[in-house]
Amino acid sequence: MAENENAGMMNSKFWRTTLLIVSVLLIFAGPTYMPYLMSDVAGINYFTSIGVGVALLVVGLFLMWFLIRKKVIT
């Protein structure tokens, strides 16, 4: 039953567009703007903020790979 619900979600144009935008934001804004905001604005350690930025990049790349593999992006 969960497979049918996920397949329906992937067929919706709204969810496909939303997941694509989220993955692009994670790929581009994750390693650039998030470390800046975390280190300069929030005062968090520089290396911790870089680590979080790299983690967001990896999550974004994984999400993009998932969307390409499921043929959501053609």
9-42 per-position pLDDT tens digit: 667 888 888 999 999 999 999 888 888 888 888 8
42-69 per-position pLDDT tens digit: 888 989 999 999 999 999 999 999 999 9
Distance CA 9, CA 7 (A): 5
The DSSP letter of residue 72 is S
Task: Using alpha carbons only, give the angle 26, 50, 30 rounded to the nearest 5 degrees.
Answer: 10
Q: Is the pTM of this model over 0.85?
A: no
The pLDDT-based confidence of 7 (bands split at 50, 70, 90) is low
Tokens of 63: 């999400």
Mean pLDDT score of the chain: 85
Distance CA 3, CA 15 (A): 16
